[in-house]
Structure 1
């Protein structure tokens, strides 16, 4: 792999789950030949993660963020599409390839209280991935990693157990465990969401420093746009399993295009009771990922809804510079596209509006 090649690529990735049928639904399926209903947790998703880049995925709870990470990690098999690591498709991986992949792609889970084995000391927790991957190590290597994640002096922490650590200290141990194998990619699943605000800030600062120091790439997911904007170079806005807007972080925050992105930004708390701004105008709850609405998935909550929203929006490059994609009919020439069919499944090439 050359220095300019992406480290991780997702192309038209789907992850669908079959629902558990009730007795009545099972009878209907047998009589009427209806197939089982699907939960489309991740749908037709594209992403390219460059070397030493941090990409964020933002969206409400239930939009498919964690499913995306678990699919990338190989904990779920993708229903369709292709995931490539260092240019090679994971569908072609053998046992040795998967072992190497799991060494080079590490995950930091959301809940530090349950992601650590309560019977393992800090030393054993960090040493375990080294032993699994047959990597020689010394006690000094573990102590050095503890120092790098801010657990100092390391000698004070190395023999402690999870019940002797605070939430922030647990998450630092989890981050140390992820970094000890010298990975290429970190998958961070809301790593600060269960911590208090002051501890969140220290974990975010730590991740910023470590991604620069170790040169790793990271996919960072969260429901909190303020934390994602602090850590990430680029942000993907996800709604009901689909990326509805993707842009460089500063561009997205200063000039959001999709109505859902605008609402998320308007909802970021500002610590000033006298500050006046436009309120977010969306209401209701996210749609049902089982009975997905036809056309745009956001249309039932969108203040900009139009008749054309009953058709599936294409990914459009609204500025024509290749720096952003938006899945929204607001950026279509509707007369030019009138009568065209919906975007075919898997066709996900950004278009420049005419």
Structure 2
């Protein structure tokens, strides 16, 4: 039995790696040459705890592993290592009925509202379908109340409409209503405002902010836009090449970033003032190759504070603050205490093709 103090979702050293082998010909080549297939370490040892009624963000550049992390949490990818816990229970031990209950309690809001709704389904049928799938009572009044909760009023006007008759913002509101209709414990939001215009983005963010409190639901918010994540999230996880390099309460992270990569992200947030002049972040080059991952710190080749010790893998260490925060950086711990034994681990191998890693 799970304890009420358990996190709703907990990730312990979660990994998802993809093999670079492209089929039988590569397998034969590796056998003949004696070489080993490489792998993309899309998610590589991520630790996280999502508490009840908490909103956490995952931020990072394109290709850092955010979407792969979300798909692994949904069960669309099988982890290569580590464990995911839901209400204290390991997902790897779930039965078929456990998975069905998990699907009801963990819902997804997609990035693209223009393609996430079935064009043949009316709004009423879109919200009724998850109720039917999970054996929940179908009630028109329940659907009407949900539409009103997401700001589609009067609800009766929207029940018979199809996606082609809705604006982008209205489509995303329907998607949010569909996610909440099963009364889930967790919402996984995959950049839900990124494809909308700026004014509509603000409306959707305000809506999500209100609904997480109103329905008591936890949310993991994935985005590349730090300004939107900082608006809605209680805590932020900064991800770089498959690893969380800093995790902290939103206010502390924005006002006092510890990791050089986090500092660069914050300095890159656009300021809506043409006369404002600020120092540019001293970051150069591109993210490292996710197949031939650099040993040690993965940010070292772009870091303005690089040291010799950065050739070794940094520990996740707790730093001082009003609340618990961690950072994976050699700047924040005594290396003599570790006796130099911190080494980068070797990737696990799977037969999943690299094309699926994003």
TM-score, shorter chain, exceeding 0.5: yes
Structure 2 SS opposite 1:46: strand
1:351 match:
none
> Cα–Cα, structure 1 residues 129 and 277, in superposed 2: closer, same or farther, change >3 Å?
same
> Cα–Cα, structure 1 residues 294 and 24, in superposed 2: closer, same or farther, change >3 Å?
farther
- In the alignment, is the contact (CA less than 8 A) between 1:146 and 1:154 conserved in 2? yes
CA distance in 2, matches of 1:24, 1:287: 27
CA distance in 2, matches of 1:163, 1:150: 19
CA distance in 1, matches of 2:87, 2:252: 28
1:132 match:
133
CA distance in 1, matches of 2:182, 2:223: 25
Using the TM superposition, give the Cα deviation of residue 121 of structure 1 relative to its aligned residue in structure 2, in angstroms. Answer: 0.7
CA distance in 2, matches of 1:321, 1:210: 27
Aligned residues: 346
CA distance in 1, matches of 2:97, 2:248: 36
1:241 match:
242
> Cα–Cα, structure 1 residues 65 and 217, in superposed 2: closer, same or farther, change >3 Å?
same
What pairs up with 1:1-354 in 2 under 5 angstroms?
Answer: 1-21=2-22, 25-319=26-320, 323-337=324-338, 339-342=340-343
CA distance in 1, matches of 2:135, 2:337: 60
- In the alignment, is the contact (CA less than 8 A) between 1:108 and 1:188 conserved in 2? yes
- In the alignment, is the contact (CA less than 8 A) between 2:114 and 2:168 conserved in 1? yes
- In the alignment, is the contact (CA less than 8 A) between 1:240 and 1:287 conserved in 2? yes
CA distance in 2, matches of 1:100, 1:166: 32
CA distance in 2, matches of 1:115, 1:144: 22
Using the TM superposition, give the Cα deviation of residue 331 of structure 1 relative to its aligned residue in structure 2, in angstroms. Answer: 1.3
Structure 2 SS opposite 1:317: strand
**Using CA pairs below 8 Å that are at least 6 residues apart, which structure has the higher relative contact order?**
2
CA distance in 1, matches of 2:266, 2:289: 23
Using the TM superposition, give the Cα deviation of residue 328 of structure 1 relative to its aligned residue in structure 2, in angstroms. Answer: 0.7
Structure 2 SS opposite 1:78: coil
Structure 1 SS opposite 2:84: strand
User: Structure 2 stretches of 5 or more lacking a match?
Assistant: 348-358
Using the TM superposition, give the Cα deviation of residue 322 of structure 1 relative to its aligned residue in structure 2, in angstroms. Answer: 6.5
Deviations 1:171-191, CA, capped at 9 Å, x for gaps = 100000000000000000000
- In the alignment, is the contact (CA less than 8 A) between 1:44 and 1:345 conserved in 2? no
**CA RMSD, Structure 1 to Structure 2 (Å):** 1.8
> Cα–Cα, structure 1 residues 53 and 137, in superposed 2: closer, same or farther, change >3 Å?
same
Using the TM superposition, give the Cα deviation of residue 341 of structure 1 relative to its aligned residue in structure 2, in angstroms. Answer: 3.8
CA distance in 2, matches of 1:86, 1:204: 27
Using the TM superposition, give the Cα deviation of residue 106 of structure 1 relative to its aligned residue in structure 2, in angstroms. Answer: 0.3
Structure 1 SS opposite 2:319: coil
User: Structure 1 stretches of 5 or more lacking a match?
Assistant: 347-354
For normalisation by structure 2, the TM-score amounts to 0.93
CA distance in 2, matches of 1:276, 1:35: 50
1:350 match:
none
CA distance in 2, matches of 1:41, 1:79: 10
User: Which segments of structure 1 move beyond 6 Å, counting only runs of 4 or more?
Assistant: none
- In the alignment, is the contact (CA less than 8 A) between 1:314 and 1:343 conserved in 2? no
Deviations 1:189-209, CA, capped at 9 Å, x for gaps = 000001110000000000000
